[in-house]
């Protein structure tokens, strides 16, 4: 069995990762696989593990900086595992590839509150769980109930959210070599009109504060304890600083943006420069939130 026989047209070769990342950066990968069922994903992982191939899971690629030299391995995109259903009144169950915006709309349509915080985060459910994504006082750990994972030994099981060691923008999923297949969120009954108004308000706040007109991966750095990364970068005089095609956003200094056809090297060099200058001026070590491949 090979990838093509499992996935047909959903097995691509030589796909450019810049077409699958919100930074719009990244070279060719050997295989780009888009399974449409969990079974297909598991069969592909069997091959990857048997043949000891390099692999990387993509949700929506909104927190990934992919190298222009490409990836000499297999990318598995969860894009098509995107069903969303509601059950037992307050639970939403969705596939790992379901978009957070879609889930948040779905919750609103079903008058369920608690997921509004995620409406403007351009990620998938799986990626958001791995990153314990959060915004506006909400984060995945507040609403996550259970996740369905494919474990390293090929077994599928449901885990409780409490087993994931969810912390600030982290979980233990990648360290355990697990893949999120689906998850259940526990929300609360609310009023549809109020939920809708909150979603609109949060989206307005994002449009006002964030450079959504440029490709990026959102906040480039984690929030250092006791500080705000954006403020430190601004105070270091780096607002709008450019290196090649990459720039520190004028609008929000916490965002490194692809200002003008940046290469992955431009972005990496700018990230390094920002870290060095902030450390030199304030003695604070910035840590990257963005994942590099
Ligand atoms: C404009 C913009 C605004 C943003 N705002 C926010 C914000 O407010 N708050 C916030 O927290 N983040 C924000 N982000 C960052 C990003 O959207 C989140 O981290 C998001 O949760 C990543 O989801 P994704 O599906 O894109 O994951 P990817 O970027 O595709 O992947 C992220 C990591 O998760 C892994 N992964 C993805 N899916 C799975 C899976 N099913 N199983 C196992 N591993 C998986 C990947 O291998 C990778 O290591 C923003 C990004 C942008 C571009």
For 235-266, what is each residue's pLDDT tens digit? 999 999 999 999 999 999 999 999 999 999 99
* CB-based contact 122:101 (threshold 8 Å): yes
Distance 59 CA to ligand 1 centre (A): 7
Ligand 1 — pocket residues by CB below 6 A?
22, 56-64, 78, 96, 121-124, 126-128, 130-131, 133-135, 173-174, 179-180, 210, 212, 216-218, 291
Q: What is the pLDDT of residues 45-71, one digit of tens each?
A: 999 999 999 999 999 999 999 999 999
Predicted confidence band of residue 123 (pLDDT cuts 50, 70, 90): very high
Grade residue 163 by pLDDT with cuts at 50, 70 and 90. very high
Given a contact cutoff of 8 angstroms between Cβ atoms, the answer to whether 158 and 148 are in contact is yes
Confidence band for 87, pLDDT divided at 50, 70 and 90: confident
DSSP code string of 179-235: EEEEEEEE-EE--HHHHHHHHHHHHHHHHHHS-TTS-EEEE-BPPPTTS-HHHHHHH
Q: Where in the chain is the domain with CATH 3.30.43.10?
A: 3-77
pLDDT at residue 134 tops 90: yes
Q: Give the right CATH number for 3-77 from 3.40.640.10, 3.30.43.10, 3.40.50.11540, 3.30.530.20.
A: 3.30.43.10
**Which residue in the list 15, 116, 178, 289 is annotated as catalytic?**
289
7 forms beta bridges with none
If you take atom 10 of ligand 1, which residue's CA is the nearest one?
Answer: 133
pLDDT at 128 over 80: yes
The pLDDT of residue 267: 98
What's the pLDDT score for residue 1? 73
Mean pLDDT of the chain: 97
What pLDDT is stored for residue 102 in this prediction? 98
Asked whether the beta carbons of 127 and 97 are under 8 A apart, the reply is: no
Could you tell me which CATH class the domain 211-292 is placed in? alpha beta
- CB-based contact 182:128 (threshold 8 Å): no
Residues of CATH 3.90.78.10 domain(s) within the chain?
211-292
From the candidates 169, 206, 223, 291, give the one annotated as an active-site residue: 169
At the top level of CATH, the class of 84-195 is alpha beta
Tell me what the mean pLDDT of segment 64-91 comes to: 96
């Amino acid at each position: 069995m090979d990838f093509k026989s499992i996935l047909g047209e959903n097995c691509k070769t030589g796909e450019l990762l810049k077409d699958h990342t919100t930074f719009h950066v990244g070279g060719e990968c050997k295989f780009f696989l888009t399974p449409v069922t969990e079974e297909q994903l598991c069969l592909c992982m069997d091959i990857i593990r048997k043949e000891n191939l390099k692999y990387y899971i993509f949700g929506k690629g909104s927190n990934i900086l992919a190298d222009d030299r490409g990836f000499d391995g297999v990318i598995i995109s969860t894009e098509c595992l995107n069903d969303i259903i509601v059950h037992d009144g307050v639970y939403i169950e969705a596939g790992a590839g379901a978009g957070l915006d879609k889930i948040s709309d779905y919750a609103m349509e079903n008058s369920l509150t608690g997921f509004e915080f995620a409406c403007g985060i351009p990620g998938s459910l799986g990626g958001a769980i791995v990153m314990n994504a959060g915004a506006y006082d909400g984060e995945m750990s507040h609403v996550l109930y259970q996740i369905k994972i494919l474990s390293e030994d090929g077994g599928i099981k449901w885990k409780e959210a409490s087993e994931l060691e969810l912390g600030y923008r982290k979980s233990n999923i990648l360290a355990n070599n697990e893949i999120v297949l689906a998850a259940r969120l526990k929300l609360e009954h609310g009023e549809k009109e109020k939920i809708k108004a909150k979603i609109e308000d949060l989206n307005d706040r994002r449009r006002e504060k964030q450079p959504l007109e440029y490709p990026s991966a959102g906040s480039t750095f984690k929030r250092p304890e006791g500080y705000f990364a954006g403020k430190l970068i601004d105070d270091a005089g780096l607002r709008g600083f450019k290196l090649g095609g990459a720039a520190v956003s004028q609008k929000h200094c916490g965002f490194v943006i692809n200002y003008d056809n940046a290469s992955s090297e431009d972005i990496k060099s700018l990230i390094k420069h920002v870290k060095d200058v902030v450390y030199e001026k304030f003695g604070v070590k910035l840590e990257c939130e963005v994942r590099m491949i």
